[in-house]
Structures are given as structure tokens and as C-alpha cells.
Amino acid sequence: MVLCLFNAGYRLLSRIPSFNIFLSMKNEILLLCIVFVPVIGSFILPVLGRFSKQLRNIIALIFITISVILSLIILPGILGGRDVLVSYQLIPGISFILQADKLAIFMAIVSSFIGAIIILYSIGYISHYENQNEYYMMVVLFLGSMMGLIFSGNLIFLFLFWEITTIACWRLIGFFRGKIQVLRADKAFLITVFGALIMLMGFVILYSQTGSFDLAVIKKTLNGAPISNIVVLLILFGIFSKSATLPFHTWLPDAGVAPSPVTALLHAAVLVKIGVYVFARLFIATFTLGTVWRIAVPVIAAVSMLISAGAAYVETDLKRILAYSTISQISFIFLGLAMRNEVSIAGGLLYILMHGLAKGGLFLCAGIVEQNTGTKDITKMGGLIKTMPVTAMAFLFCSFSVMGIPPFGGFFSKYMVITGAINEGQTIIAIVFFAGAILTLLYLLRVFALVFLGDLKISQVREKSATMVSSAAILAVLSLAGGIFIKYPADFVATVVQQMLGIIK
């Protein structure tokens, strides 16, 4: 009865123009809050930390949780075909634009949710280290900037948010402040900033060709025509550097000197996924990628995938193995997006979700192992399943998803990507990536066997922090649930792809 009255009242009010304007403004405000609550709130955290560490930690988690909740609130309207747009002209030719469409809201929910889990994990992991105020500030600023980048409808602000994430990561990778840590943070900073500046040159040339930095205007101006090869090359330079694709990949394994929640941020659904998101946003939803690039990108991805998978198989440092694994798995996403058919693109987007859950879980497990054993060398471990059973099972579940073992979520995304390549006639590329999937299975089983099976080499190792273990377990369970209930994320992704390709609005 109450629901009937509510529906009747809503229908009556919806006929009033001012009420519809209110609803529109409400969603605009929510979209601004998704971005600026964590961005602005990050600067409050160091002040709170001077009075109460517990309050600072809780508020940091709340800021990111707000982004998750508000994204879910505006999701039904966006799925119903009502995109949310915020646009303010700053100076002639440049407007601040945030636009929440299906692709953006998908990426925002995935990134903010995994980011919230990582902050929960950080409460236990970071508790006994220095520089905690800066840590929480930079993590929240990073995630807020990620939201800004995702929703940016203007290339200039996309670039600005892109660079803010780089600055935050630079400080986070060098968190421990040792000489090696600082040098590797500087390396990551220089590679990604240089790539971004090259990408900015591509944006400027694109502006000279279209007369606008606004994505909607650029799309309308080009009207499906491919952009020039030089623009594609410059933009791909930035995308590949951020996504640690060969030959710009070396900074990512070196970033393993950072705290484990930071490496989880880098590898899961956030930093390296920025590149593939921008690839999808520009080369599928806005531009048309030329035929030569639809061949070149999968070839580059295949080479990057094989080399990084081989490196993961021979490496002995746990976090570097997982880093090389990330480089390899990102290549699958590039393959799915470059094939540009509904199956492959849907597989690529599902890969972002499933890999984010599973790889985030693997890095959180690696952090638990490292903190409790005092080493990252897998040859010095063994038998940890006896003393760390929850961590071991979480690692195994997440590994199964990354390997593509059914019924875990990673199986379906990997299957769709390879099937999409076959549908485009790229059988050889599909075979190469299938071989990469076999390599993934081999090196992750090797890690699990050396770390968790066999004789116990390190005594008195226990799972100490409940927040750390539960965070990893949540991502492991979701990696399985994502496969068992694959229909729901698959249906969501299908509508995202249809909007990207212009099949539906």
C-alpha cells in the first residue's frame, strides 16, 4: 500500500517541470560529491590524524564509501538511459565537465569499492608505520582523482586528474623513504609523467583538428571518422606508460617496494586500469580506431603478455611476480577492447572487474605473508597453509580467478576476450593469448606451492590482523561469486557496451 502511494505521488510530481529539474540537480550534486568529497576530504585527514588516528582512519574509509554509495544511488537512472551531466564554462574554449554514463559509472563503482576494501585493509597494515597521515591523505586523494578522471568529459581535466593520481602514487610508492624506495618512486613518476606529456601533445593536435577538448563535441565533429595516426600514437604512448605495457613496464615491478595496500591500488582496479579505461573512453566511445591500430595494439599486447608472463615464472620475489602478472593480464583487456566487437569489449570490461577483485586480493594476501614472515622471497617460505589457512585459501581463490578456472569470474572474462578475437578472425592472436593463459596457471600454481604447501620453514607465523585477513577474504569470495552469479555483471556490461557502440543511448 505504501509503495503504491509512493509510486502514485512520484508520477504526479514528475509531471511538474520544477520537480524534474530538482531531480536533475540532485544527481548533479551527487556526481560532484562522488569526486570532490574524497578529493577535498583528503586534505582534512592529516589534521584529524593529529588528534585521533582512529578517527582519521574511519573518516578516510567513510570518504571512499560515500563515493561507492552515491555511485550506486545514481546507477538506476543511468541504466535507464538518463546520463548525469555537470558542465561549467571556465574560459572560452575550456569547460569543466563531469559526465556519468554507463561506462563511467561501471568503472567508478569497481574502483571505489575495491579502494574502500584496500583502505579497510590499511587500518591493520599501516598501524605501526610512520607517515600515516600522509599515507591516508594520498590514498584518498588518489581515489578521488580517479573518480574525477573517470567522469571527466573534457580532455584537459582528464589530463589534470591523470597527473594528480601520478603525484599521489609517487608519494605512496616512496612511502618508506629509503634510498631504493625513493629512487623507484621517482622512476615510476618520470615514466608516467613523460608518457602523460606525450599524450597531452596528442590532445592538443586533436584540438587543432576538431576545435574542442570536450569529448561530446569531438565525437560529433569526427562523426565516426578515424583520427590521424600521429594522434593515436601520442595518446597510446601515455596509455601504455600508465598501464605498464611493454616497453614502459619496468616501473611497475619496481613499485613493489611500496606497502602492500599501495601495490594493491596500483595493480587492482585503479592505477594501471586508468590506461585501459581511457583507451575504452577515447578509442571506442569517442573515436574510431583505424584498421592498422586494431592489428598493432593486439600485437603489442601479445608481446607484453608473453614477456611479462615469462618473467613472472622465473621471478622469486612474491610482489614482483604479481606485478609481472598484472602486466600480462592487462594485455588481455587491451585485446578485448581493440577487437571492437560486442563480445570482446564486454569481455575486456568484465576483465577489469574480475581482475581487480582477484589481483587486489592476491596483493593483500602477499602483504599478510610479507608482514608475518619478514620476507618476499618465495623460496624461503613453505607450509604457510598450516598456520595461515584463511590467507592461503583466499590466495588460492583469487589465483583461480586470475588463471581463468571455472566457475570463478576470471574464466568468463578471459573466455569472452579470446572468443571475441576469434570472431574477428584473429585466430593466431587468440592462440598466443591462450598460451599466455596457460603460463598464468603455471606461475601462480608455482607460487602457491612454494609459499603455502610443503614443510613449514618459518615458525610462529600467524594471521594477526582481522581487518587484513577479512579484506583479502572478501575479495576472494567476490571472485568466486562473480563467476557463480555472472549473469548480473554480464548484463550490466552488455548495456555499457551497447551505449559505447551507439546501439542504445
Write the DSSP assignment of 286-325 as a string of letters: TS---HHHHHHHHHHHHHHHHHHHHHHHH--BHHHHHHHH
Contact criterion met (CB below 8 Å) for 70 and 28: no
Q: Which of 44-53, 92-101, 196-205 has the lowest mean pLDDT?
A: 92-101
324 CB-near residues (< 8 Å, 6+ apart): 253, 308, 309, 311, 312, 315
Mean pLDDT, range 135-140, rounded to an integer? 93
pTM beyond cutoff 0.85 = yes
| Cα–Cα distances in angstroms (integers) from residue 489 to residues 109, 240, 243, 481, 482, in the given order | 12, 27, 24, 11, 8
pLDDT of residue 24: 53
What is the pLDDT at residue 89? 85
pLDDT band of 68, cuts 50, 70, 90:
very high
Query: Residues 476, 361: contact at Cβ < 8 Å?
Result: yes
Res. 371 pLDDT band, cuts 50 70 90: confident
For residue 88, the SS3 value is: strand
CA distances to 29, 462, 465 from 33, rounded to whole Å, are 6, 41, 32
Which tops the pLDDT comparison, 461 or 245?
245
Q: Average pLDDT in the 376-404 region?
A: 92
The full set of domain ranges for the chain reads: 290-505
Across the range 494-501, mean pLDDT stands at 91
Sign of the four-CA dihedral 361, 403, 283, 304: positive
| Mean local confidence (pLDDT), 428-443 | 94
d(CA 145, CA 452): 37
Confidence of residue 498 (pLDDT cuts 50, 70, 90): very high
- Residue 340 phi/psi, 5° resolution? 60, 35
CA distance 499 to 480: 28
CA angle, 136 as apex, 135 and 137 as ends, to 5°? 90
CA 110 to chain CA mean position, Å: 7
What's the pLDDT score for residue 457? 76
Per-chain mean pLDDT for the chain: 88
Q: Report the pLDDT value the prediction gives residue 104, as an integer from 0 to 100.
A: 94
pLDDT higher than threshold 50 for residue 3:
no
Task: Report percent pLDDT > 70 for the chain.
Answer: 94
Backbone angles phi, psi at 91, to 5 degrees: -140, 160
User: Would you state the cell numbers that stand for residue 433, as one nine-digit string?
Assistant: 593469448
Whether the predicted pLDDT of 476 surpasses 90: yes
pLDDT at 444: 95
User: What number of CA atoms fall less than 13 Å from residue 13's CA on the CB side?
Assistant: 11
Query: Which residue carries 569547460 as its cell?
Result: 95
Amino acid at residue number 205: I
Say what the pLDDT of residue 434 is: 94
- Spatial contact of 348 and 280, defined as CB atoms under 8 Å apart: yes
pLDDT of residue 22: 44
Q: For the chain, how far is it from start to end, CA to CA, in angstroms?
A: 34
Residue 407: predicted pLDDT: 93
- State what percent of residues in the chain have pLDDT above 90: 60
Look at residue 177 and tell me whether its pLDDT is greater than 90. no
Half-sphere exposure of 210 toward its Cβ, with a 13 Å CA cutoff? Answer: 28
pLDDT at 294 over 90: no
Summarize the confidence of residues 330-358 as an average pLDDT.
92
Q: Which of 178, 332, 320, 165 is nearest to 250 (CA)?
A: 320
Give me the torsion for CA of 398, 403, 408, 409, rounded to 10°: 90
| Residues 6+ positions from 124 with CB-CB distance below 8 Å | 464, 465, 466, 467, 468
Run of H or E including 98: strand 94-100
